[in-house]
Structure 1
Amino acid sequence: MFSEIDNKLNILIGYYRTDVINTVIKQEMFYFG
């Protein structure tokens, strides 16, 4: 039960991190590109 919740949290955190990283990269490309 706990491992299932952990998996879902890790997936959500992974998506969130990827989204933030992509946003930062887009901003840097916009400013410096």
Structure 2
Amino acid sequence: MQELRGASRSIPLFLSSCEQLMIGLRKFTRTTKF
């Protein structure tokens, strides 16, 4: 039960970091006209 709670806390963090990464990639490709 404790592991499940830890996972439910880390998954949103993981998703938000992935979203930040995608935003950064999009900005990077826009600036370099890739």
**Which band: TM-score by shorter chain?**
0.7 to 0.9
Displaced runs of 4+ in structure 1, greater than 4 A? none
TM-score by length of 1: 0.81
Structure 1: 5+ residue runs without aligned partners?
none
RMSD, aligned CA? 1.4
Calculate percent identity across the aligned residue pairs.
Answer: 6
Structure 2: 5+ residue runs without aligned partners?
none
